[in-house]
Structure 1
Amino acid sequence: MFKKKPSIKPLAPLRSSDRRRTADQIIADYDLKIPIEDEVSPEEKAASTAKHTELRNSLLPDNAQSARFTTTHGPDLKKVSGTVYVGSHAGEEQRVLWVKIEERMYPTVYTLWHNPDILPLLHTHPPVVQKLQGGADLMTPGLAGGPPFPSKAKKGSITAIASTESPSVPIVVGVCEIDISALQQVQGTKGHAVQTIHWCGDELWAWSSSGKPGGAAPKRLDGWDEHTEEDEMVEKTEKMGLEDEEEDGGVALGGDEPAMQKTSERIDYVEGEDTPTQLEADADEREMTTNEIDEAFRKAFFYGVHHHVTINKDLPTHGLQFPLSQSFVMSNLVQPFLPAFTSSQSNSLQIKKTSWKNIKKFLKSLDKEKVLRCKDRDGNEVVVQDIDFTDRAVVDFAPYRLPKKETAAGASVGRGGKASTTVDESDESIGQTLRVVSIYRPKEKFSPIFSVAKVGSKSYYTAAELRTLITTYIDSENLASPTNKRLVTVNPILANAVFDGTGALDKEVLAKGAVPRDALIDRIISSCAPFHAVLRNGASADAAKPKAGAAPKIRVLLETRSGNKTVTKVSGVEAYHVPPQPLADELRKACAGSTSVDQLVGSSPKNPVMEIMVQGPQKDAVIRALERRGVHRTWVEVADKTKKGKGR
């Protein structure tokens, strides 16, 4: 539900009475009430009351605040509104702890991590968890660890979901759509089991009053796994037969062994050797799963670091100059070491197809594992400040087979295209010099003026040439005032061709019979039809074929797609002698993300304008690439639609 960022109004503190009443209502709704018997000793009653107060504070701390929120949900973007309850436990960041929608209170994962066993806990497999965290619902075949299932997991009840890898850590909150407790089997069944409401990784999890990213899930929690030991869960998982199923946007899990694991068992990889033909055929059989792509990126990073350590043993930091930009890490430590043997693997091995979706989150995941240390910079990217070269994953890394350089370069540039991993130096636009010239074609009514200068059949003139021709006409007709050379007498030709009397200025000039020289020249030039020419490498304007209108600007557009993903679109480069495809290839490598080249919507099929799309906010990278091709910044127009009211 909270895949899209909700609009949250300013927080307001909860009154103590409201907080206690809300906490007591939660305790009652979730059947958490600690009984206080009447016929007990005062000491026992006091201890029970203290436990009740402690439970209240755990569910809704005394620093709790609340605020109204609105968001949209579902394919029809149905408007959803409610109340969020925000608070912080001792020593922790302030987070959203509860969400109230239609008078029903839903705990967030932060509340579940501090209050074990308040919801029935279901389990599913890691690949399914990744889909759930993308907003999908849990399908019945994706249930793990049963039957039997928790007795409280009945239709309409709020439930938690954990991964079988960390069975004691809830990471999804949802509502049962069926009576899961009554299920006798899941194999061969169909349909939705749980509708997801909130998960670790959504916008509610990411909310913070200080702007800090969402808190990482703990490795293990006591209390949630009292009835299910981890070893028992793993054993059940291994014995279960699972079926592939995907229905109405839900998630099920295929039981096939990961292809990359099978491959590693069949072949002893050796760096630099060619890939076997059979391996290529096997790899093309199906698209890689998200888990396999994640593992490939992790291994590629460790391979890249291992490679630098091996070849630069005696250099400080093994030849790496910190801090490292995220694009450098992707271009030099990851992409060259991805096992992209075939076109199918090349299309699959893209950062956007990982569970992290972008290089920033990938690096932050390595930071959490203490493999490297990174920090945010400029809000849109991170820089790597240090790498632990002594990490066991680096020290014990065993190199695997890599494809040849010419085949490894086949990363997707979008919609079936191919791109080189290196800049195409055969692109003749690199290093070119450009000059934009504005030229004009006089209208027929000005022919008496220019015929005097005997300019022949020339049709186009620069502003300087027009100024010279008009001055020649003024001098040849002796129209300059003898007392003030800056004034020009208006003769019948000028009166008919330039000042036709339709405007207030025309009437004033005609009444006075004179006009300032500069005003006359500017009036004639502005009345000519504008044209332009983009001249390359010192070419003459006479040899160029002028194009109507003023010189167009290259347009760089930043906009948001798919909720919160920013893309950069570039169009109009052809007018500046820049071929779109080589530019897209360079941007793919420089920005460490996929690119695509397609016809701009609305452009003429006969003379199409191509549009380059790059993942991420890449305005600066685009401008640098254009400057390498002789394009001045003033010829580029940037529009940022990701920030309302901002753009230039």
Structure 2
Amino acid sequence: MYPTVYTLWHNPRIVPLLYTPLVVVEKMQGGADLMTPGLQRGPPFPKRATKGAIVAVASLEAPTVPMAVGECTIDVSALGKTQGTKGIAVSTFHWAGDELWSWSSTGKAGSEPPGILEGWDDDNGDEASLAERTAAVDLDDEDGGVTLDATPTQRSEAEKSQGVQGEDAPSNNDFIDVLEDKELTTKEIDEAFKNAFLYGVRYHMDHNKGHPSYGLDFPLSQSNVNNMLVQPFLPTYTPTRTASLQIKKTSWKNLKKFIKYLDKQQIVKCKDRDGNEVVVLDIDFKDRQVESFVPYRLPKKDTPAAASANGKPAAPLSAESSVGQKLKLVSVLRPKEKLAPILGASKADPRGLYTPAELKQLLIAYVEAENLIDPKNKRLIRINPQLADALLASSAADNAALSSGVMPRDSLAERMVAAASPFHAIIRNDADIADAKPKAGAPPKIQITLETRSGNKTVTKVHGLELYYISPQPLADELRKTCAGSTSVDKLQGSSPKAPVMEVMVQGPQKDAIMKALEKRGVHKNWVDIVDKTKGKKK
């Protein structure tokens, strides 16, 4: 006898329960099996999850609601680790949403899964036999429904230890490893926005219990709904997911239609205002979806993976906020191969990195060692074959130097610097240049662009933040409050899909506000380019 998900919703713990991220559960609801690397919250795993045992599977986001039933193809209970392993752990044969789930003798469609269930979050009695637990199972429930008036319960200690209890929980590295850094489907984006809204409402309810409307001042404008209840609670775990989670990529395409959808769901009450937008008049804080919502782990705001402009990973951002950091931009030079004879006089590394002043000193050491300083005018250097080959070209000044046999020391030093390739390093706080890995080329600049969109609306964009240890999402969150307007973080067009450079967009002409935010993060104004496309000129 195999239990259905309906049976499991009514009868907790009659089979072992395994966990995996929601994205994996969604694939299982399409008929996929649960692979071993997808197992979470273990080891240790339930002792009854042996080879051939029937088990239930729930998501980390809703850990008290079994969503699939399958058979263990391996001894899951004996696993010592899951990362780096291969193969199927559970062969799925039933899930919420399949034909069995939707069948009913009354002709009714299957009911939606509850948001939370009591009993499955209690590990007591896990070793009870299946026969003992199924003796009282009631199989006469024709419509398969379950009561939805259960109040949310506290998470189990095991769940807390796995780092999935709300926004302040410690990071769960295994969870992030399972999430693919890929573009989300429209359905996944829709679900993320709805869950973010529910999360935002629950957050205000939990943190403003003494306020009649839980700290929300109705009516709420579209931008307030987005800024206060949606954007801070989106699961932006990776750069590509961040780029996917934009309102324009949902099936609603804009905030107005999204709020209208929430109104149809009877979660909010809204009305049109000025023809172009809607305002939220009220939120049903006792709505079933709000009360049963289980918070998920939010991403760390200051520790996203950074990416460089050339598509290669940049240095990971510190857990420390970029606000208040001290930055130093260091420009160095790598001598070209033709300078090797000059560097050899000082036994300097011909492939080393030097400042312009250091290169000039190496040139002086060479001319002194070769006795090339003109005795009558110490500012003149006699040209020998090595200097001519390494530093002189075919310009008029160079030809004149070859003809006269001498050249001013400063002019020769300028040619020494010009004959080296530029490199740069951005040093943070008390880091040393010796610990940095300088990159080829001139130092990149953060670019702020003002442009006109949708006729006469001005937006301000900024990109190139990651190399300066600035996380785009926290900056966007700050600018949203500072500028009292909507912001978004999207992938810069043309950047590498594997390591995308992110671009922050702010509504309105906000270059001064962005500059002030960058200066708080240690960025000097000389490191920023401002392009004003609304006037067709560069500042």
Q: TM-score range by the shorter chain?
A: 0.3 to 0.5
Q: Taking structure 2 as the reference length, what is the TM-score of the superposition?
A: 0.44
Q: Taking structure 1 as the reference length, what is the TM-score of the superposition?
A: 0.37
